Structure 1
Amino acid sequence: MNIVLDDVDEKCLFYYSPVKNTVMDNSIFTRLAYSNDIFSMNGVYIKANLTIFKTESYFNKSKYFFNYSENKNQIDKLADIEKMILEKANIENVDILNKLYEQFMSKSIRVFNTEMLHNENIEEKKKVDIIVKLSGIWNTERCCGLTFKFFDINHQWKNTLE
């Protein structure tokens, strides 16, 4: 289950109690939940789409390359959600790091696949659907940010642009 990018509602976002972070040393982790009248889920799974021009495969991941200008609307909406989640958490006396936005500004993302994709120089740009999984917030003494992953939900290319 996922949420369409335009339908994310701040009132439906909830935070678990912080626990010791098992991934980062000297930090805590606060899991996210999303719940409304229809469903509840651990984490926040947001469906988005990107226009990409190249892929590279690495084991169970692919790297998607894209131009910011062609994906500005989607990226800016995701950045706004990141900012809203981190601000709503109200973590005091730390710097907020917008790592999701920074990842998009690198003009590539690593995407977990259910099928292996070959390295591909795409002759025509492709629109791909992805799920952005927001698991929670990591927090050190100095800073905090979102924990996130990208998942490919296409299984095959869709919608060649004209």
Structure 2
Amino acid sequence: MKNQLQLANRFREVILNGTWIANTNFKDQLENLDYKMATAKFQNLNTISVLAQHIHYYIKGIKNVLLGGGLEIRDKFSFDFPPLESQEQWDNFLDGFWKDSEEFAKLIENLPDEKLDADFVDEKYGTYIRNLDGMIEHSYYHLGQIVLIKKIIETQK
């Protein structure tokens, strides 16, 4: 179970509480962010809220598989979200994001050893460990975008 704990902790680092790789994490960047900044548009870039929802979309989709369900998410829908129009909607989204992320990490911790090298849903997707590593890397990629967009918007004020 050592690999599972390491994966779960690496996932928690990028989403919930780490500073080792990027000196920040999603929760640190988003928790006290006003919804107006989260939804502010800059040129043709995605908004901070859309990027956060995008990562949450994949967390929920993979979480469903870890719970024994099917892979029901599709890349073509991974940026399609209704607009957030209030601080309450943004705060509710964040509450769900943190809750799903912690549940996701706990599911990783509890994966049997043999599952890590097993095919993830279908052979074409690679193994569980490849997909979990990919989720972590994907999250860091978009975390970097969020940090940059936030800095751009702050200088526009």
Which protein has greater RCO, CA pairs closer than 8 Å, 6+ apart?
2
* Structure with a larger share of its residues in strand: 1
Normalising by structure 2, we get a TM-score of: 0.28
* Structure with a larger share of its residues in helix: 2
Normalising by structure 1, we get a TM-score of: 0.27
